[in-house]
Amino acid sequence: QSTITVSGRERRQLRKAISSQLQAQGIAQADTFANLLLDLKICDRLEPLVSLFQDSECENFLKTVRQFVRLQESTRDINTASERAAKIVFALKTYARFDQTGETIEANIIEGIETVLTLYQNQLKHGVKIIRNYQELPPIRCYFDELNQVWTNLIHNGLQAMNNQGTLTLDAQLQNGYLQVSITDSGKGIPQEIQEKIFQPFFTTKLPGEGSGLGLDIVKKIVEKHRGTIEFESVPGQTTFTVSLPLNSQQI
């Protein structure tokens, strides 16, 4: 995507051009989306996002992402800003493409989890204890990059729940023909009254700018794409999300 700074006149020209592109794709709210995309500094290569624009919740999503970006732009922490920018782009792509056919590969799930932990190294090294309980696991056929987004969201949510202070426990084991990954944080827990809502699209308990509300909805869709399940248990002081993925690749 293009990232640019524009004058008022240039913005009007770009808005008109983007709106025309969207109208050509049959997008009803082309002008509204054009304004939001300009605020996000997304000005070209719109074709991969067409399915996102056709979603009934797209406007709400883009407005939430815009708040996210504005907070990112105001922060002085460059590492945090880069991480937030990367999550926005990944969320956009994943939300627009999660149901499209891709290629599976044989992959080691633990390697994916460890890659995510590496990306969060700055947050982890100041007050977070990591406990790893990994069994020896066989590789499984999967959409590896999408599963990495699962681990990213679950680990990110766990760290936020603990305010980056506490214990994050990672368990990986074989159970009745499934590979199970559990991520447990020592945070405040999910209030009982909202537990039924956490997988709903755009539901979030975070303040504006802290998150898009897309994380757990995307996680659930990716896990279901793998013919797997995701469950959670939460009490004050401990929340565990457990992802179960079939070992039999023929089920995907």
Q: Are residues 130 and 228 in the same domain?
A: yes
Residues 201 and 218 in one domain: yes
Domain of residue 224, residue span: 105-251
Q: Is residue 176 part of a domain?
A: yes
The CATH code of the domain that includes 112 is 3.30.565.10
Which residue has better confidence, 94 or 150?
Answer: 150
- The whole-angstrom separation of Cα 148 and Cα 94 is 11
Residues 155 and 182 in one domain: yes
Do 66 and 22 share a structural domain? yes
Which pTM value belongs to this model? 0.61
Report the candidate in 82, 75, 74, 67 with the shortest Cα–Cα distance to residue 120: 82
Model pLDDT for residues 41-74, shown as the tens digit of each residue: 777 667 767 777 777 777 777 777 777 666 555 5
pLDDT band at 87 (very low <50, low <70, confident <90, very high): low
Q: Which contacts (CB < 8 Å, 24+ apart) does range 95-99 have?
A: 95/52, 95/55, 95/61, 95/214, 95/218, 96/48, 96/49, 96/50, 96/51, 96/52, 97/48, 97/51, 98/146, 98/218, 98/221, 98/222, 98/225, 99/51, 99/221, 99/225
Is 143 within a domain?
yes
Is the same domain home to 141 and 204? yes
Domain for residue 247, yes or no?
yes
In a domain, 166, yes or no: yes
- Give 10-48 pLDDT, tens digit per residue: 888 888 888 888 888 788 788 888 888 787 777 766 776
Highest mean pLDDT among 5-14, 97-106, 108-117: 108-117
Residue entry with tokens 């039999």: 248
Which is nearest to 92 in space by CA: 214, 252, 175? 214
Instruction: For residues 112 and 91, state if they share a domain.
Output: no
On whether both 75 and 157 belong to a single domain, the answer is: no
- Report residue 213 as tokens: 């509300």
Has residue 3 been placed in a domain? no
Q: What is the dihedral of CA 67, 19, 91, 55, to 10 degrees?
A: 100
Q: Is residue 2 part of a domain?
A: no
Total domains present in the chain: 2
Structural domain includes residue 1: no
Residue 29 token pair: 């709210």
118 & 179 share domain: yes
